[in-house]
Amino acid sequence: GSTIGMVGGGQLGRMFSVAATRMGYDVVVFCASNDEPAAQVSTRTVVGRLDDSQAVIEFARQCDVISLEFENIPAETMRLCGEHAPTYPSHHVLATAQDRLIEKQTFADAGLAVTPFARVTGRDCVQSFAAEHGWPVIVKTARSGYDGKGQHRLDDESDIDSVPWQETDHWIAEKCIEFQAEASIIVARSAHGEVRCFPPFENHHVNHILDTTVCPSFLSPELIENAVNLATKAAEVLDLVGVLCVELFVTADGTMLINEVAPRPHNSGHLTIEACHTSQFEQHVRAVCGMPLGDPSLRVAAAAMANLLGDLWPNDGPPAWDQLQRAQPTVALHLYGKRDPKVGRKMGHLTATADSVEAAREAVLSARRTQVN
Ligand code: ATP
Ligand code: MG
Ligand code: MG
């Protein structure tokens, strides 16, 4: 089809729209306001509530194929979209990926290693989970969390009451994994069943929010092969069409556990725009439009990405990005067009490519520091 529908107006939809329009598609974004990051760059926007079926139908009728950029979209919205145009990921995939309990159980049932978990509703369940797996325990809302929202780290029994249990009865407890590092791997799968993986990324989180990503990762060739097999199997288990990011905990002995998956482009894949022959956004377009997949391999020796959170925005106006671009002319600045910076909110990112991971990392970090000073 020549018109792609995008449900959701955030930065992932924005970068998707930039890639898709460059490739000659029209993009219709469906989101809550014309101000949203993706709406600013789309061909057209349908403004409405994502759970308003009249608005969903008005949007879906304009599209030849439909995708999404955020997994917390009502699954019913995607089901309804699917009545009008091929919709990837399907509402089935979405329903799985938007509930941590269903997602982990699906992968566990398929024989893929996931972080040990259990459904919990309060003190007694957490205590029996801790008796089996030990402290600390991480308690998360099973649904609608992102960027670490809704997560509570419980170091011991005395922390149990710090969880706002009354807010929902749908919580998951996870064993707190002492990982050596975190990695992610993005796999693309087309409607024809073609599968290709990006090289794994190495991720560093601060306060449960992604801070920096580098590629190549520290993973050995053997671990890369494990990650590729795991991601391929995950995409097949879900019968996914599009891109899927698999977030991994890698422990000291090289064991890889799935933390979570996202059936869409992912923050850790932003560096693919500058660093790979095909970006994650182009690959997603190709997968959902039924084109042959592009080459996801690196076209540079190394790359690094650093997120720019609202914390960096001074109170008296936007940061002096012109200063940054003068100081670091080889670092790519991406801003998402968000007008209200908040602590912890993703406002943009920086990407550098270099001859080594160390050099690329230093370039984005020093560029980010230039800005802060
Ligand atoms: P996003 O979707 O933005 O990645 P999220 O809110 O879905 O965020 P998670 O990916 O579950 O959050 O967790 C965010 C980060 O918190 C992880 O990448 C990891 O650094 C830490 N974390 C989460 N769960 C665990 C765990 N069981 N053990 C150790 N660290 C964890
Ligand atoms: Mg998540
Ligand atoms: Mg995550």
Q: Is residue 55 part of a domain?
A: yes
Ligand 2 (ion): residues with CB under 5 Å are 260
Whole-number pLDDT of residue 282: 98
Q: Name every residue whose Cβ is closer than 8 Å to that of residue 203 and which is 6 or more positions away in sequence.
A: 181, 182, 183, 184, 210, 212, 213, 247, 268
Average pLDDT over residues 161-190: 96
Nearest-CA residue for ligand 1 atom 21 is: 208
With both helix axes pointing from N to C terminus, report the angle between 11-22 and 280-288 in degrees, rounded to the nearest 10.
Answer: 70
Q: Is residue 221 part of a domain?
A: yes
Average pLDDT over residues 146-159: 93
Q: Is residue 105 part of a domain?
A: no
Q: Name every residue whose Cβ is closer than 8 Å to that of residue 184 and which is 6 or more positions away in sequence.
A: 200, 201, 203, 213, 245, 246, 247, 248, 266, 268, 269
- CA 262–ligand 2 middle distance (angstroms): 7
Ligand lying closest to the C-alpha of residue 137: 1
178 CA closest ligand 1 atom index: 29
| pLDDT tops 70 at residue 43 | yes
Q: What is the CATH number of the domain that holds 25?
A: 3.40.50.20
Tell whether residue 58 is among the known ligand binding residues: no
157 & 216 share domain: no
174 CA closest ligand 1 atom index: 27
Tell whether residue 151 is among the known ligand binding residues: yes
186 & 169 share domain: no
Q: Give the Cα separation of 156 and 4 in Å (integer).
A: 49
Q: How many domains does the chain have?
A: 3
Tell whether residue 25 is among the known ligand binding residues: no
166 & 263 share domain: no
265 & 203 share domain: yes
| From 141, 246, 259, 270, mutation site for ligand 1 pocket: most ligand atoms within 8 A of C-beta | 259
Average pLDDT over residues 95-113: 98
Q: Is residue 68 part of a domain?
A: yes
Q: Give the Cα separation of 154 and 157 in Å (integer).
A: 7
Round the average pLDDT of the chain to a whole number and report it. 95
The domain boundary, picked from 175, 198, 226, lies at 175
257 & 314 share domain: yes
Q: What is the CATH number of the domain that holds 125?
A: 3.30.1490.20
Residue among 186, 265, 253 at smallest CA distance from 11: 265
Average pLDDT over residues 21-45: 98
The domain containing residue 124 runs over which residues? 116-175
Q: Give the Cα separation of 60 and 83 in Å (integer).
A: 9
Q: Is residue 187 part of a domain?
A: yes
Q: What is the CATH number of the domain that holds 330?
A: 3.30.470.20
What's the pLDDT band for 147 if we cut at 50, 70, 90? confident
Ligand lying closest to the C-alpha of residue 174: 1
In tens, the pLDDT along 199-210 reads 999 999 999 899
Q: In this structure, what is the dihedral angle of CA atoms 82, 86, 91, 96, given to the nearest 10 degrees?
A: 170
206 & 153 share domain: no
Q: Is residue 94 part of a domain?
A: no
What's the pLDDT band for 222 if we cut at 50, 70, 90? very high
Residue among 57, 54, 66, 1 at smallest CA distance from 28: 66
What's the pLDDT band for 118 if we cut at 50, 70, 90? very high
Whole-number pLDDT of residue 1: 53
235 & 356 share domain: yes
Nearest-CA residue for ligand 1 atom 7 is: 146
Average pLDDT over residues 31-48: 98
Nearest-CA residue for ligand 1 atom 14 is: 208
The domain boundary, picked from 139, 158, 175, lies at 175
Whole-number pLDDT of residue 13: 98
Q: Is residue 100 part of a domain?
A: no
161 & 185 share domain: no
Residue list, ligand 1 pocket, CB within 6 Å = 115, 138, 145-149, 174, 176-177, 182, 205, 208, 247, 259-260
Ligand lying closest to the C-alpha of residue 140: 1
Nearest-CA residue for ligand 1 atom 15 is: 208
The domain boundary, picked from 87, 108, 130, lies at 87
Q: How many helices (H) and strands (E) does the chain have?
A: 11, 17
216 & 166 share domain: no
In tens, the pLDDT along 2-28 reads 999 999 999 999 999 999 999 999 999
Whole-number pLDDT of residue 63: 98
| pLDDT tops 90 at residue 182 | yes
132 & 204 share domain: no
Q: Is residue 231 part of a domain?
A: yes
Report yes or no: 199 and 231 within 8 Å, Cβ to Cβ: no
What's the pLDDT band for 315 if we cut at 50, 70, 90? confident
Q: Give the Cα separation of 103 and 101 in Å (integer).
A: 5
273 & 355 share domain: yes
DSSP letter (8 states) at residue 37: T
| From 101, 126, 151, mutation site for ligand 1 pocket: most ligand atoms within 8 A of C-beta | 151
220 & 355 share domain: yes
